[in-house]
Amino acid sequence: MWEILINSIVMKKLFLMAAVAAVTLCGCGGKSTSVSEDKAASDSTDKILIVYYSQTGATKAVAEEFQRQLGCDIAAIEAVKPYDGDYGATIQRWREEVDNNVKVEIKPLDVNLDDYSSVFIGYPIWGGTYALPMATFLADNAESFKGKKVVTFSTFGSGGVSTSTRDVVAALPDAEVIAGYGVRNARLAKAPEEIAEFLGATDFLDVEIESLPDYSDVTEVTENDVRIFDEACGSYQFPLGTPLKVASRKTPKGTEYRYEVESQAPDSTKSSSIIFVIAPDDGSAPEFTEVVRF
């Protein structure tokens, strides 16, 4: 169960991150904009590259959607020894590589980073941060990112936007890293619209942004809040904890909830997280958009 295995690694990283310069971080669940128009990027002097790694195709789909909307260059990172086993085999290999501090070998990329002023980097979340082939790419090219704008994007089972973006800030200290976009692999169909919103909010697309209201004050959960939480999170493959408090707001898509959740590991260690849930107005089932762990 990787969500528990990774906990100690993530906690160690969070301590390191405290020393890292702050970036504006927003999970996909915490978005505060909606988009009514989709136009091409207005600043043609800003040459953009997308570099991504994807093992099973989810991040590739998101990378290709970013490319479609931005009309920019794209390059895929490949491991010299591909992770071509099943999920269990990949978890086992990743675990061994992390434990042994292995730097995963990747194939050379046929791009010159010097040609670009902005680089979007995309990866699956592994153990709360970017996948190991992306770690190699960032370590090998850190100097080339000096002065560049870097935008992260990721796909995941439950979350990892903030933790991975903070790791990118630490890996690329001379770059200007801006808030990452992330999407659960179970919600890939929502990515095109959310990417347009994300790009609009970060000025890469010239779009009209409609401001959304702030969340309400935080209150103790009611029975109805718990029912919505259970509907959104109950079928996830791992338990996501007990909701204690909640705030909400109305958006054009429905009601967004921001739950404060407590979880207990098998060794009784307690941890807190924020879980974002959207309950669409069209009557479809509520779904969680991201778990933000601390």
Ligand X SMILES: Cc1cc2nc3c(=O)[nH]c(=O)nc-3n(C[C@H](O)[C@H](O)[C@H](O)COP(=O)(O)O)c2cc1C
Q: Is 92 in the site for ligand X (CB under 6 A)?
A: no
Rule CB under 6 A: choose which of 27, 29, 160, 243 binds ligand X.
160
Q: Is 91 in the site for ligand X (CB under 6 A)?
A: yes
**Closer CB to ligand X, 54 or 69, in the complex:** 54
Q: Is 126 in the site for ligand X (CB under 6 A)?
A: yes
How far does the chain reach from its first CA to its final CA, in angstroms? Answer: 18
Q: Is 156 in the site for ligand X (CB under 6 A)?
A: yes
Neighbours of 247 (CB within 10 A): 16
Segment near ligand X (CB under 6 A); pick from 34-42, 50-58, 141-149, 190-198 = 50-58
Backbone angles phi, psi at 137, to 5 degrees: -60, -45
Residue pair 162/274 in contact by the 8 Å Cβ criterion? no
Q: Is 277 exposed, middle or buried (0-12, 13-18, 19+ CB in 10 A)?
A: buried
Q: Is 7 in the site for ligand X (CB under 6 A)?
A: no
Q: Which amino acid is at 161?
A: V
Q: Is 263 in the site for ligand X (CB under 6 A)?
A: no
**Closer CB to ligand X, 124 or 180, in the complex:** 124
**Closer CB to ligand X, 159 or 286, in the complex:** 159
Segment near ligand X (CB under 6 A); pick from 23-31, 54-62, 245-253, 268-276 = 54-62
Helix, strand or coil, per DSSP, at residue 129: strand
Give the H/E segment covering residue 124: strand 118-126
Q: How far is the CB of 294 from ligand X (least distance, A)?
A: 14
- Residues binding ligand X: number (CB under 6 A): 24
Q: Which two tokens stand for residue 200?
A: 């609009």
Q: Is 58 in the site for ligand X (CB under 6 A)?
A: yes
Q: What is the DSSP string of 40-66?
A: --S-TTS-EEEEE--SSSHHHHHHHHH
Q: Is 137 in the site for ligand X (CB under 6 A)?
A: no
Q: Is 165 in the site for ligand X (CB under 6 A)?
A: no
From residue 139, give the alpha-carbon distance in Å to each of 112, 135, 143, 152, 270: 16, 6, 9, 15, 33
d(CA 101, CA 109): 23
Tokens 């927003």 locate to: 26
Q: Is 280 in the site for ligand X (CB under 6 A)?
A: no
Q: Is 57 in the site for ligand X (CB under 6 A)?
A: yes
Q: How far is the CB of 228 from ligand X (least distance, A)?
A: 21
**Closer CB to ligand X, 58 or 172, in the complex:** 58
Q: Is 155 in the site for ligand X (CB under 6 A)?
A: yes
**Closer CB to ligand X, 90 or 144, in the complex:** 90
- Give residues 179-198 in contact with ligand X (rule: CB under 6 A): 185
Q: How far is the CB of 39 from ligand X (least distance, A)?
A: 28
Rule CB under 6 A: choose which of 13, 25, 41, 55 binds ligand X.
55
d(CA 56, CA 76): 13
Residue pair 273/294 in contact by the 8 Å Cβ criterion? yes
**Interacting residue ranges for ligand X, rule: CB under 6 A:** 2, 6, 54-60, 90-91, 94, 124-128, 155-160, 185
